């Protein structure tokens, strides 16, 4: 870069960012993450390690399968990083920088290199923090020696660097005319391949994400993020009566988004049989994660319910009550899960009243969770105060993921303590969650009930 270009770049940086480099701008968030990891992370890690390997048999199983599970987790994270990079890549200056400096003909490797270094440093540091938390928890519970903490930290740093490289190349592949993979081997070539339109679109999406987080409502962000190419666009929705139209519209939505439909059913094929297997008292620790997996899989098939909930408070177009419309969406969305549950009861077993109650409770639980999360709305303005707004937002966003875990752990603990079997307990908890979700639906649609 010529001396004059360096001076102009420094001048714009000082003007736009008050002289703070990208590394300096990420230092404080990393400090906060490290502080929370030191205060809460290691304690949570050692608690989970103790729960997973509570006796000698489970300790041996953990030590046997931990490397394979780690490799599987990294394998799953790689395509996730690629998908995230296509929506919001790691190299993303502010919108003013993109509009003012990228068109003037300077080498984009020189322009974007500070943001690349900041992203790489952030992900490497975050991976190292995760390694310290995991390694520290395992060492405290004697599942790993203290000497193993350093390799775990280095592995975390390596995974962070790997995911950053994958994400930036995915970001470069979102250009209107994407470069071939052979031209994206070197980081400098990848940064030069980033187009202004790609960076600008992702910067606008990042602004929308920040606004959605600040107001505590992510529904408009979900509409802003492209959902991929729609298929079956020649198919048209016919007239089948009010409730029938709701059902057929959901089926048509499945046909137009085959990837989302296939991913949801695939997750259900693992989550539902696993949940039925985990209804045994000896497998109670797995019940919460498997319930979460089942809830996430069903959520991929219930987009129609969420779209209906976003319009809650306005008259329905089909002339039926919001409750009947939600019932139609839930009937279609839960049909695959119910079918898999009945088949799993026969295959996995054992055939008993508790197992049948567990399958019914699982359906009620999923229905209640989807109603509660879809019709919860945004956070009330009085809760978004400077002192408690962050906590309210964190709880609001974590509720769809924390609720299945909490219900599963509670049902398992009741069964382990000598109470009713897990299936019957899950049925009671599922009915309670369904009642709560139905109450939220009534509250959001009271004027048109």
Query: Is 250 part of a structural domain of the chain?
Result: yes
Q: Hey, how many other C-beta atoms are within 10 angstroms of the C-beta on 299?
A: 20
Domain count, the chain: 2
One domain for residues 250 and 173? no
One domain for residues 273 and 204? no
One domain for residues 308 and 181? no
Query: Is 228 part of a structural domain of the chain?
Result: no
One domain for residues 202 and 350? no
Residue pair 6/103 in contact (Cβ under 8 Å)? The answer is no
Q: Which of 2-11, 334-343, 389-398 has the lowest mean pLDDT?
A: 2-11
One domain for residues 23 and 135? yes
Residue pair 139/53 in contact (Cβ under 8 Å)? The answer is no
As a whole number of angstroms, the distance between CA 113 and CA 5 comes to 15
Over pLDDT 70: what percentage of the chain?
76
Q: Which of 82-91, 226-235, 288-297, 372-381 has the lowest mean pLDDT?
A: 226-235
Query: Is 222 part of a structural domain of the chain?
Result: no
One domain for residues 155 and 193? yes
Statement: residue 9 has pLDDT above 70 = no
One domain for residues 283 and 202? no
- DSSP secondary structure letters along 159-179: HHHHHHHHHHHHHHTTSSSPP
Query: Is 286 part of a structural domain of the chain?
Result: yes
Domain boundary among 167, 200, 215: 215
Contacts of 29 (CB under 8 A, 6+ apart): 122
Check residue 19 and give its pLDDT.
54
One domain for residues 294 and 201? no
The overall average pLDDT reported for the chain is 78
- Looking at per-residue pLDDT, the higher value among 419 and 161 belongs to 161
pLDDT band at 421 (very low <50, low <70, confident <90, very high): low
One domain for residues 135 and 68? yes
Query: Is 224 part of a structural domain of the chain?
Result: no
Query: Is 234 part of a structural domain of the chain?
Result: no
One domain for residues 205 and 249? no
One domain for residues 157 and 268? no
One domain for residues 97 and 207? yes
Contacts of 424 (CB under 8 A, 6+ apart): 353, 354, 357, 358, 361
| pTM, entire model | 0.65
Domain boundary among 177, 199, 215: 215
Query: Is 431 part of a structural domain of the chain?
Result: yes
Distance of CA 187 to the CA centre of its chain: 28
What letter does residue 422 receive in the DSSP assignment? H
- Looking at per-residue pLDDT, the higher value among 291 and 159 belongs to 159
Domain boundary among 215, 232, 252: 215
Per-residue exposure over 336-365, b if at least 16 CB sit within 10 Å of its own CB, e if not: bbbebbeebbeebeeeeebbbbbbbbbbbb
Query: Is 149 part of a structural domain of the chain?
Result: yes
Check residue 141 and give its pLDDT.
79
Domain span at 19? 3-215
């Amino acid at each position: 870069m010529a001396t004059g270009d360096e001076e102009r770049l420094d001048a714009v940086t000082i003007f736009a960012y008050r002289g703070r480099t990208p590394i300096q701008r990420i230092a404080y968030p990393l400090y906060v993450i490290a502080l929370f990891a030191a205060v809460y992370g290691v304690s949570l890690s050692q608690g989970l390690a103790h729960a997973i390997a509570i006796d000698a048999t489970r300790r041996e199983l953990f030590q046997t399968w931990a490397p394979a599970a780690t490799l599987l987790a990294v394998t799953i994270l790689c395509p996730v990083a690629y998908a995230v990079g296509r929506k919001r890549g790691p190299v993303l200056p502010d919108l003013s920088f993109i509009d003012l400096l990228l068109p003037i003909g300077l080498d984009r490797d020189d322009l974007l290199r500070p943001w690349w270094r900041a992203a790489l440093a952030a992900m490497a540091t975050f991976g190292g923090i995760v390694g310290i938390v995991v390694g520290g928890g395992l060492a405290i519970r004697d599942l790993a020696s203290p000497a193993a903490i350093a390799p775990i930290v280095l592995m975390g740093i390596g995974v962070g660097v790997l995911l950053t490289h994958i994400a930036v190349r995915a970001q470069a592949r979102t250009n209107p005319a994407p470069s071939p993979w052979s031209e994206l081997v070197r980081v400098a070539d990848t940064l030069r391949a980033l187009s202004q339109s790609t960076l600008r679109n992702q910067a606008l999406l990042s602004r929308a994400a920040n606004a959605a987080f600040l107001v505590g409502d992510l529904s408009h962000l979900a509409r802003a993020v492209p959902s991929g190419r729609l298929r079956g666009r020649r198919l048209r929705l016919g007239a089948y009566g009010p409730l029938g139209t709701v059902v057929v519209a959901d089926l048509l939505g499945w046909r137009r988004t085959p990837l989302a439909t296939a991913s949801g059913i695939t997750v259900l094929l693992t989550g539902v049989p696993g949940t039925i297997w985990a209804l045994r008292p000896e497998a109670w620790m797995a019940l919460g994660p498997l319930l979460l997996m089942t809830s996430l899989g069903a959520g991929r098939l219930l987009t129609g319910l969420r779209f209906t909930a976003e319009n809650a408070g306005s008259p329905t177009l089909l002339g039926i009550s919001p409750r009947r419309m939600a019932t139609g969406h839930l009937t279609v969305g839960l049909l695959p899960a119910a079918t898999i549950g009945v088949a799993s009861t026969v295959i996995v077993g054992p055939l008993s009243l508790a197992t049948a109650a567990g399958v019914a409770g699982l359906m009620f639980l999923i229905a209640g969770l989807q109603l509660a999360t879809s019709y919860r709305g945004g956070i009330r303005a009085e809760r978004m105060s400077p002192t408690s707004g962050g906590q309210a937002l964190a709880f609001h966003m974590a509720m769809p993921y924390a609720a299945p875990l909490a219900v599963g752990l509670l049902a398992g603990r009741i069964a382990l303590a000598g109470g009713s079997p897990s299936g019957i307990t899950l049925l009671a908890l599922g009915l309670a969650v369904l009642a709560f979700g139905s109450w939220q639906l009534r509250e959001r649609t009271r004027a048109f009930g």
